[in-house]
């Protein structure tokens, strides 16, 4: 029986170095709900994004991404990108590389079940399937004893910070895959892939001596990523969904990249000391060095081409939180990045690390729209100053978001005697509501964002039986001149969830100027496989959108009384368009 109402608590864990890398807290499946959404798309926050900002259309969340280092050369570029986390991502107790910002080292992340009494190394912990094997790639499967209440799949992260879910190749997926041979000359197997057609092959060993297999990711353009440096970290335990509130202890496991190689044999290598990335080198002589703090594990400097005439250094500054009455550091927040020319980024306020808002009644079976529950949290403001002097001020507000036609059941909790949803269709998020750009020589310009009230439903609801449940949501973005753009997307559980349905552009608030409508191809009527892969997740995630292709087939624009249509008339086996016809009505 699920006990969503059990409260979490925290206890401080102090490590011998004098730094506390996190709070040893426990969470409920309800608190982990955001991690089941698995919708990593983002859109511009209207106009340019001079501060690296974007919003997720499903959650309304604001996130930031900034590429500090892009060192081009012969072969793969050396890219070091900072990103902020969202509520959809799993987290460890280890401090992110930049305090409250992370570094997008190419990697695979997942959660593992752990026995705190045994303290097993990462290679021993990361076993998969019923066979409990360390052939974690060849027999690609969920970790041993994985359950939806605490496991949220395998995330694959690229160097630009983009995230994709790893899938076990479906039996019906006979699309071409790489033909490569391993070091022994045997054909390599590629048992996993992503929906965007990255192929995941198997390496027999890790690079750092941890037991078991590692991975080789091959991008659609043929670039190879050796993901074989395995580490793990402590993370929160989950209170099981039963009246006894048993606790599932977990580890956060990461398989980092050690090498990126293009089709012509040019490579970039990643070098580590323990869990810390310390250097990146390239075949053509490019080099980047990372310097870590001695009092707390954050990067304090990145030097490009160290020891040469081309040496340049980026320096990172932080504010540190300490345990009351001590000098023990508990966390760090990035406050500034000084560039080689002495210009700088500065950060203040709630830039990152916002836990989703919640309400003790949000999982009740009769809760279906955001108006039924209040949220008492005040707004959160972040300020970002760019090297140019431009200042971005971002205001987030607590809000409810809804999903429709959710696969969920209702039960009565034997402890509280309250009705509870197995999959609550309503969830909380911090949504962007205002963005202001100002600075020297710039007029102050403000964009506002209005999100539709959350409306949700479950399959057992009366509206679901007749197909009348609300299944759309929108965000209105109003620019500084008062013109409004509305983005409308689907909230329907399944393959359409998160898809943009249309956009509407208005002059001022109400004069419609242009409408763009999108339709999508059926997942099982194309030359691509009906199912690309299997997530290995089940009841708490809308898996169809993660496992099946359904590309845009028609884009229709209506503007000033004329209709313009772009139709895909042929696709290839990967869902890419091969023949597109564009039409418009004759000019009047």
Burial class, 587, CB count within 10 angstroms (exposed 0-12 / middle 13-18 / buried 19+): exposed
Of 352, 344, 365, residue with least CA distance to 412: 365
Of 185, 176, 182, 184, residue with least CA distance to 201: 182
> Residue 131's CB: how many other CB atoms inside 10 A?
11
Burial class, 301, CB count within 10 angstroms (exposed 0-12 / middle 13-18 / buried 19+): middle
H or E stretch covering 547: helix 544-547
Instruction: Report CA torsion sign: 323, 328, 333, 336.
Output: positive
Contacts of 308 (CB under 8 A, 6+ apart): none
Q: What is the dihedral of CA 224, 228, 229, 233, to 10 degrees?
A: 110
Of 428, 425, 549, residue with least CA distance to 492: 425
* Residue 559, token pair as written in the block: 């503007």
Of 428, 432, 461, residue with least CA distance to 447: 432
Cα-based distances in Å from 412 to 249, 366, 421, 497: 26, 12, 9, 28
What pLDDT is stored for residue 333 in this prediction?
94
What pLDDT is stored for residue 28 in this prediction?
63
- β-pairing, 344-349 vs 312-322, is unpaired
- Phi-psi category of residue 498: left, alpha or beta, with phi > 0 → left and psi -120 to 50 → alpha: left
- β-pairing, 237-239 vs 23-27, is parallel
* Residue 174, token pair as written in the block: 């006979």
SS3 content of the chain, % helix, strand, coil (to 5): 5, 45, 50
What pLDDT is stored for residue 12 in this prediction?
29
What pLDDT is stored for residue 107 in this prediction?
96
Phi/psi for 456 (5° steps) reads -135, 165
**First-residue to last-residue Cα distance in the chain:** 66
How many helices, marked H, and strands, marked E, lie in the chain? 3, 39
Largest pairwise CA distance in the chain: 78
What pLDDT is stored for residue 47 in this prediction?
61
| Distance from C-alpha of 288 to C-alpha of 78, rounded to nearest angstrom | 8
Phi/psi for 349 (5° steps) reads 85, -155
**Whole-model pTM?**
0.90
Which tens digits make up the pLDDT trace of 433-489?
999 999 999 999 999 999 999 999 999 999 999 999 999 999 999 999 999 999 999
- Phi-psi category of residue 40: left, alpha or beta, with phi > 0 → left and psi -120 to 50 → alpha: alpha
Instruction: Report CA torsion sign: 425, 406, 460, 27.
Output: negative
pLDDT tens, residue order, the chain (588 aa): 232 222 222 222 333 334 444 444 676 666 666 666 666 666 666 567 889 998 887 788 889 999 999 999 999 999 999 999 877 666 766 778 999 999 999 999 999 999 888 889 999 999 999 999 999 999 999 999 888 888 889 999 999 988 999 999 999 999 998 999 888 888 899 999 999 999 999 999 999 999 999 999 999 999 999 999 999 998 888 876 555 557 888 999 999 999 999 999 999 999 999 999 999 999 999 999 999 999 999 999 999 999 999 999 999 999 999 988 888 998 899 999 999 999 999 999 999 867 888 888 888 899 999 889 988 889 999 999 999 999 999 999 999 999 999 999 898 777 777 788 888 899 889 999 999 999 999 999 999 999 999 999 999 999 999 999 999 999 999 999 999 999 999 999 999 998 999 999 999 999 999 999 999 999 999 999 999 999 988 777 888 999 999 999 999 999 988 999 999 999 999 999 999 999 997 766
Of 354, 435, 445, residue with least CA distance to 399: 354
- Is residue 548 within 8 Å of 495, Cβ to Cβ? yes
Cα-based distances in Å from 280 to 189, 205, 267, 272: 28, 21, 11, 9
């Amino acid at each position: 029986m699920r006990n969503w109402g059990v409260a979490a608590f925290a206890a401080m864990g102090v490590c011998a170095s004098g730094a506390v890398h996190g709070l040893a807290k426990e969470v409920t499946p309800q608190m982990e709900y955001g991690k089941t959404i698995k919708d990593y798309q983002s859109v511009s926050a209207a106009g340019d994004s001079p501060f690296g900002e974007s919003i997720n259309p499903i959650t309304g969340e604001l996130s930031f991404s900034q590429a500090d280092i892009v060192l081009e050369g012969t072969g793969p570029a050396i890219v070091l990108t900072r990103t902020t986390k969202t509520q959809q991502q799993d987290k460890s107790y280890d401090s992110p590389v930049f305090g409250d910002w992370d570094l997008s080292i190419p990697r695979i992340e997942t959660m593992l079940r752990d026995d705190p009494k045994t303290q097993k190394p990462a290679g021993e912990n990361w076993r998969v399937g019923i066979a409990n094997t360390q052939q974690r790639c060849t027999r690609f499967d969920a970790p041993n004893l994985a359950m939806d209440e605490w496991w949220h799949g395998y995330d694959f992260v690229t160097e630009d910070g983009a995230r994709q879910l790893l899938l076990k190749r479906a039996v019906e997926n006979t699309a071409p895959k790489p033909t490569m041979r391993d070091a022994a000359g045997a054909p390599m197997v590629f048992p996993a892939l992503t929906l965007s057609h990255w192929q995941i092959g198997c390496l027999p060993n890790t690079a750092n001596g941890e037991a078991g297999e590692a991975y080789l990711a091959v991008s659609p353009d043929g670039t190879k990523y050796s993901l074989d440096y395995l580490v793990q970290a402590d993370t929160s335990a989950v209170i099981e969904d039963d009246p006894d509130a048993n606790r599932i202890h977990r580890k956060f496991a990461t398989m980092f990249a050690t090498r990126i190689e293009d089709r012509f044999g040019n490579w970039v290598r990643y070098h580590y000391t323990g869990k810390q990335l310390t250097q990146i080198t390239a075949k053509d002589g490019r080099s980047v060095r990372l310097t870590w703090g001695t009092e707390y594990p954050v990067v304090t400097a990145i030097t490009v081409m160290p020891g040469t005439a081309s040496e340049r250094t980026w320096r990172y500054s932080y504010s540190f939180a300490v345990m009351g009455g001590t000098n023990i550091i508990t966390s760090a927040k990035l406050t500034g990045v000084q560039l080689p020319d002495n210009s700088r980024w500065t950060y203040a306020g709630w830039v990152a690390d916002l836990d989703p808002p919640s309400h003790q009644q949000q999982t009740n079976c009769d809760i279906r729209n955001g108006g039924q529950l209040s949220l008492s949290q005040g707004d959160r403001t972040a300020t970002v100053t760019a090297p140019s002097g431009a200042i971005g001020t971002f205001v987030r507000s607590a809000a409810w978001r809804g999903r429709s036609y959710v696969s969920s059941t209702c039960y009565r909790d034997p402890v509280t005697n309250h009705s509870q949803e197995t999959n609550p269709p309503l969830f909380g998020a911090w949504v962007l509501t205002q963005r202001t750009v100002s600075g020297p020589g710039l007029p102050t310009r403000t964009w506002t964002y209005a999100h539709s009230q959350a409306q949700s439903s479950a399959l057992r609801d009366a509206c679901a039986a007749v197909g009348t449940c609300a299944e759309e949501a929108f965000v209105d973005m109003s620019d500084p001149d008062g013109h409004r753009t509305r983005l409308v997307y689907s909230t329907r559980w399944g393959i359409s969830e998160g898809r943009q349905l249309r956009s509407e552009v208005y002059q001022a608030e109400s004069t419609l100027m242009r409408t763009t409508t999108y339709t999508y191809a059926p997942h099982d009527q194309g030359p691509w496989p009906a199912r690309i892969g299997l997530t290995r997740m089940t009841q708490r995630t809308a898996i169809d959108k993660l496992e099946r292709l359904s590309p845009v087939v028609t884009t229709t624009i209506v503007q000033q009384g004329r209709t313009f249509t772009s139709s895909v008339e042929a696709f290839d086996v990967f869902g890419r368009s091969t023949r597109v016809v564009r039409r418009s009505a004759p000019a009047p």
